[in-house]
Amino acid sequence: MASFTLPATFWQQADVFATLLLRYNQTHNISGAKTKEVVFKNIEDSIYPLQFLHVKTIKRAIDVGSGAGFPGLLLALALPDVQFTLFEPIAKKSAFLHLAKSTLGLKNIDVSTNRVEKATPFVADLISSRAVTNTKMLIKLCHNFIAPHTTLLFYKGELVEEEIKGLSHCQIYQKEKRYYLIMENVDVV
The domains located in the chain, with CATH, are: 10-183 (3.40.50.150)
- DSSP letters for 163-179: HTTT--SEEEEEETTEE
Confidence of residue 3 (pLDDT cuts 50, 70, 90): low
- Write down the pLDDT at residue 120: 95
Model pTM?
A: 0.95
State the Cα–Cα distance between residues 75 and 61, nearest whole angstrom. Answer: 10
- Write down the pLDDT at residue 2: 56
Query: Which 8-state DSSP code applies to residue 142?
Result: H
Give yes or no for residue 1 having a pLDDT over 70.
no
Short-list 134, 140, 185, CA closest to 164? 134
Where does the chain show beta strands of DSSP type E?
Answer: 60-64, 83-87, 109-112, 126-130, 151-156, 170-175, 178-183
Cβ atoms 160, 168 nearer than 8 A: no
- Residues contacting 144, CB < 8 A, separation 6+: 117, 121
Q: 172 - beta bridge partners?
A: 181
Give yes or no for residue 50 having a pLDDT over 90.
yes
Q: What is the dihedral of CA 72, 74, 77, 82, to 10 degrees?
A: -30
Confidence of residue 54 (pLDDT cuts 50, 70, 90): confident
Region 6-32: mean pLDDT is: 95
- Write down the pLDDT at residue 185: 82
State the Cα–Cα distance between residues 115 and 105, nearest whole angstrom. Answer: 25
- Write down the pLDDT at residue 189: 52
pLDDT in tens, 76-115: 999 999 999 999 999 999 999 999 999 999 999 999 999 9
State the Cα–Cα distance between residues 127 and 150, nearest whole angstrom. Answer: 7
Confidence of residue 186 (pLDDT cuts 50, 70, 90): confident
